[in-house]
Structure 1
């Protein structure tokens, strides 16, 4: 629940001073509170601040003038200030009497850009949520293009420096290298998430409330878009080019700490998104397959069959064993959605193709280790099984069950 801190002006003194939420970072699916003047809000734009008193008045004036023409009184600007020493929150609070769409949150118990954005969204009244920097480096006019994409039906509209009409104004070679390097690192650690947009480092975007509602968010640092991409459900993502501007007032807050936090965030998301429980089940089934595989391998070798043929035959028997257990246990929730014999056989064929590909890798590894390096063939076999297990799990998750068994109308493209 939210609470009002005793050192803040009371609601009767400042009806647009918003109490700081506490608890989990979860955005509600429905608007549960009304604006002070009971307006119908379509867009809630959060502006996180820290020591931005030199820029914020100009920023609010530009946004208000522009949005008044498009949305009239159907928008709100929510300034979330991390208790700035320059009293940015107070500067904005004094402007509330001039700009009725303004709301202000003074955070005294939490810090960080990403959490500031989420706390702002938690008290927002709009069905479309957004974020923009307060330092005028994000050109306000781009907001209208983002709104147009949302109006067309996009779930997420991102301002990008890396599409047509996008770029940076006057960055040094080192800064460009760090920015691109961070993006490449994201592609390595979270390829399926980061690759969905051209500028995953962007902090300027709009998103439908329903696309991120009821998800426990836990960002680290200042790159909130990656959290939205990873935890949300945005089917249609649009991008709009913009040129990142240099600051006219104030100092940049980007330090090496932010880059470290960015890496921590990527790693945490990778661990969270990895289906650990399902992989453990797959591993248990795999162990049963190892027993079957090694037993049959031993029998075939003692019957006089060649090394490669023994590997292939014992492996195929283990594949049948593993499919039956995986279909009934590891992926039972997915298999249950299509229970006919024909669909089950189709799953088996795909599973077999994936595992046979792994089996080829298995045979190559065994031969390289045993014949090429002189390793004991049984030890070589165990090493090959361990390596191929990761291949089999990941590809089967993406092909044999997930794609064919889930209703495509419910899965983001």
Structure 2
């Protein structure tokens, strides 16, 4: 089936991710029609990527709900990240049937959080909301959220963890990861995460005046953290909902989203100190955090092998030999992850097995130099100071982590920075 191409797409804003206080406010690169458009009470952003199987149904469902509740006083804005399945073309064709629908097709940026903010930047509503296009967020909950805002709340959140909330068919592992992420958030940033029962919710609405002004800097999928952490949110209401299973398309939740969630918490916790540190010392803090997280996986590999090789209940090998073998396996583990993730933007510029082998040899030599220091420190702490071998090993690893990161950044992946 072919769809009419209307070329009536919203222009994507550029510059900082900042919401104007006035719905017709000036935004770099934003759609200029906003200046003459009538403000509406409610603007709902629907970020999409490969959602052609769901888009028609979600628009029809939302329209059926909102037309009698807010007649001619709302808008739906689809923000599509250049979907390979051409979701934006289907959405644009729907504007002939649904005049309240507007479509933005992004080609220069990607990511759910920034998609939502770009949509809010061109929105005309005094209330700004977001809902997934995959039907996992029940549309009927919108009316309850709107009632909460109309009764005075600054932020209304659909929650899986209050009365009436839950998940439909989640595995035990996914439930564990979700709850674990929330617990970790309470430890790192209790002042933000502790204000809502479901800080990882992607289904909510907020008053424009409560979020307008600050420059937003979201990371990953969890934009609610950014709204609470940087907005002027006083009153929060929560409405229970049951998270539904996807009917069409594929889930976009991966392990990467959990890592980005942790990094986002750290960024909010720093209150700008990380950015100032980066500017003052030109130190790539974000890359170092990724390097450290990879290092944690290496610690697990290292400690496990050290136990299997050296403990008297297993092979009972001599400590130094066991440490060298365990460390080398951990080095290989760390290189693979760092080459793919920590320095992935750099290594992608130097493709091929020869280039990867060169990076691995450099990485190995630098880490072996760190290993010499690590072994010396391990024996010092264990044999001289009598510290438990595993605690001594953790201390030694921590002391050489900064060395390994900085030298690897300057040498192992240096060639990929040359233009």
TM-score clears 0.5:
yes
- How far has the Cα of 1:260 moved from its partner? 1.1
Task: Tell me the SS of whatever aligns to 2:18.
Answer: coil
User: Partner residue of 2:117?
Assistant: 118
Contact 2:267 2:274 in 1 (8 A): no
Decide whether aligned partners of structure 1 residues 170 and 133 sit closer, same or farther in structure 2, where only a CA change above 3 A counts: same
2:23 is the alignment partner of 1:31:
yes
User: Partner residue of 1:148?
Assistant: 147
1:53-72 counterparts in 2 under 5 A? 53-72=52-71
2-structure distance, mates of 1:165, 1:31: 34
User: Partner residue of 1:405?
Assistant: none
- How far has the Cα of 1:39 moved from its partner? 3.8
1-structure distance, mates of 2:163, 2:257: 28
Contact 1:39 1:73 in 2 (8 A): no
User: Partner residue of 1:194?
Assistant: 193
- How far has the Cα of 1:36 moved from its partner? 9.7
Decide whether aligned partners of structure 1 residues 47 and 76 sit closer, same or farther in structure 2, where only a CA change above 3 A counts: same
Decide whether aligned partners of structure 1 residues 139 and 272 sit closer, same or farther in structure 2, where only a CA change above 3 A counts: same
2-structure distance, mates of 1:97, 1:65: 16
Question: C-alpha deviations, 1:40-96, integer Å up to 9, x for none?
Answer: 411000000000000011000000010001001100000000000000000100000
Question: C-alpha deviations, 1:327-384, integer Å up to 9, x for none?
Answer: xxxxxxxxxxxxxxxxxxxxxxxxxxxxxxxxxxxxxxxxxxxxxxxxxxxxxxxxxx
User: Partner residue of 1:75?
Assistant: 74
2-structure distance, mates of 1:173, 1:36: 50
Contact 1:81 1:89 in 2 (8 A): yes
1-structure distance, mates of 2:104, 2:187: 37
Q: Which of 15, 19, 23 in structure 1 is aligned with 2:11?
A: 19
2-structure distance, mates of 1:73, 1:14: 23
User: Partner residue of 1:231?
Assistant: 230
CA RMSD of aligned residues (A): 2.0
Q: Structure 1 length as normaliser, TM-score?
A: 0.62
- The gaps in structure 1 that reach 5 residues or longer are 1-8, 278-413
Question: C-alpha deviations, 1:115-147, integer Å up to 9, x for none?
Answer: 000000000000100000000000000000000
1-structure distance, mates of 2:86, 2:242: 29
2-structure distance, mates of 1:142, 1:263: 28
2-structure distance, mates of 1:112, 1:14: 23
User: Partner residue of 2:218?
Assistant: 219
Decide whether aligned partners of structure 1 residues 187 and 102 sit closer, same or farther in structure 2, where only a CA change above 3 A counts: same
Q: Structure 2 length as normaliser, TM-score?
A: 0.61
- How far has the Cα of 1:35 moved from its partner? 5.2
User: Partner residue of 1:402?
Assistant: none
Contact 1:34 1:125 in 2 (8 A): no
2-structure distance, mates of 1:75, 1:162: 29
Decide whether aligned partners of structure 1 residues 67 and 148 sit closer, same or farther in structure 2, where only a CA change above 3 A counts: same
- How far has the Cα of 1:14 moved from its partner? 3.9
2-structure distance, mates of 1:100, 1:145: 24
Contact 2:130 2:203 in 1 (8 A): yes
Task: Tell me the SS of whatever aligns to 1:104.
Answer: strand
Decide whether aligned partners of structure 1 residues 242 and 82 sit closer, same or farther in structure 2, where only a CA change above 3 A counts: same
User: Partner residue of 2:263?
Assistant: 264
Contact 1:80 1:105 in 2 (8 A): yes
Task: Tell me the SS of whatever aligns to 1:177.
Answer: helix
2-structure distance, mates of 1:192, 1:274: 17
- How far has the Cα of 1:259 moved from its partner? 1.1
- How far has the Cα of 1:273 moved from its partner? 6.0
User: Partner residue of 2:48?
Assistant: 49
Greater Cα radius of gyration, structure 1 or 2: 1
Contact 2:34 2:122 in 1 (8 A): no
- The gaps in structure 2 that reach 5 residues or longer are 25-31, 277-419
2-structure distance, mates of 1:237, 1:14: 39
User: Partner residue of 1:103?
Assistant: 102
1-structure distance, mates of 2:199, 2:191: 12
User: How many residues align structurally?
Assistant: 266
Task: Tell me the SS of whatever aligns to 1:29.
Answer: coil
User: Partner residue of 1:134?
Assistant: 133
Task: Tell me the SS of whatever aligns to 2:110.
Answer: coil
2-structure distance, mates of 1:85, 1:20: 18
Contact 1:212 1:233 in 2 (8 A): yes
Task: Tell me the SS of whatever aligns to 1:18.
Answer: coil
User: Partner residue of 1:165?
Assistant: 164
Decide whether aligned partners of structure 1 residues 96 and 276 sit closer, same or farther in structure 2, where only a CA change above 3 A counts: closer
- How far has the Cα of 1:161 moved from its partner? 0.3
